[in-house]
Amino acid sequence: MSTDPRTTEVDPTTAVQQAYRLILGRAADAEGEAHYVGKLRSGELTVPQLCAALATSDEFADRLAVRTGQTDPTARARTARARPTPTSSTPPN
């Protein structure tokens, strides 16, 4: 019998740290980590929603553009607008 990773309890801090590393390719900054850990602990956000928030961020769009050689800022902006926006998961600036 296998465990469904979507329903397995994950430590919120570990989940945020791993999501930042896998999606953004860097360690979570203190503000972002605190923001997302709080949302996960409160139940306001799930781990899949956290991953979606990071994957639809401007930072990820820029990272993807650099990796794919898409350096035209207009094209990056079109890509960013085409992405769905997660609900209330963006950390404060």
Report if residue 68 sits inside a domain.
yes
Residue 71 has pLDDT above 70, yes or no: no
pTM exceeds 0.85: no
Number of separate domains in the chain: 1
Q: Domain limits at 47?
A: 12-82
**Confidence at 1, pLDDT banded by 50, 70, 90:** very low
Report if residue 25 sits inside a domain.
yes
Q: Rounded mean pLDDT of 19-37?
A: 97
Report if residue 58 sits inside a domain.
yes
Kindly report the average pLDDT of the chain as a whole number.
80
How far apart are alpha carbons 55 and 83 in whole angstroms? Answer: 9
Task: Report which of 27, 87, 18, 23 is spatially closest to residue 58, judged by C-alpha positions.
Answer: 23
Q: Tokens 């600036």 label which residue? A: 93
Q: Rounded mean pLDDT of 39-56?
A: 96
Contact present, 76 and 62 (Cβ < 8 Å): yes
Counted residue by residue, the chain has a size of 93
pLDDT of residue 69: 72
How far apart are alpha carbons 62 and 71 in whole angstroms? Answer: 9
Report if residue 90 sits inside a domain.
no
Q: Select the more confidently predicted residue: 7 or 60.
A: 60
Report if residue 72 sits inside a domain.
yes
How far apart are alpha carbons 39 and 11 in whole angstroms? Answer: 12
Report if residue 59 sits inside a domain.
yes
